[in-house]
Amino acid sequence: MMKTADLLALKSQHTETGLADAELSAYFAATPGWSQDGPRIVKTYQFKNYYETLAFINAIAYVIHAEDHHPELVVTYNRCVIRFDTHTVNDGKGGISVNDFICAAKVDAIFEQSFS
């Protein structure tokens, strides 16, 4: 069974292979709070104020850049919605890959360590 620690130990790599529907439940179990939104995974983070929201964005920027896997971010005063997908899978149509869950776990770790 996949665990959060397993994902944290991995590094995103170029892939053209998405996860099959049957594989997704194990990855979602390792990344609590994330859900599927069509061909992507999504989670909303809540903050006390705009300063905390922006501090979170800055904190995750380095990790996201190091993983070379950039999410869609929707930022408001006290909230940040993050959506990960992998545009290279499914013959370029996009979808969900292990890279999305690796980054989700790393973003969660930053939130838990510094913002919860």
Are the beta carbons of 110 and 31 closer than 8 angstroms? no
pLDDT per position as a tens digit, 15-65: 999 999 999 999 999 999 999 999 999 999 999 999 999 999 999 999 999
Over its C-alpha atoms, the chain yields an Rg (Å, rounded) of 14
pLDDT over threshold 90, residue 116: no
pLDDT value of position 66: 96
Query: Distance of CA 98 to CAs 29, 50, 116, Å?
Result: 13, 31, 25
pLDDT value of position 2: 86
Domains of the chain, first to last: 4-114 (3.30.1360.20)
pLDDT over threshold 90, residue 1: no
pLDDT per position as a tens digit, 54-91: 999 999 999 999 999 999 999 999 999 999 999 999 99
pLDDT value of position 74: 98
| Separation of alpha carbons 86 and 18, rounded Å | 8
Task: Please report, as a single letter, which amino acid is at residue 63.
Answer: V
Q: What is the pTM of this model?
A: 0.95
How large is the average pLDDT for residues 93-114? 97
Residue 78 makes CB contacts below 8 A (sequence gap 6+) with 46, 47, 48, 49, 50, 52, 53
Residue 72's H or E segment, with its range, is strand 72-76
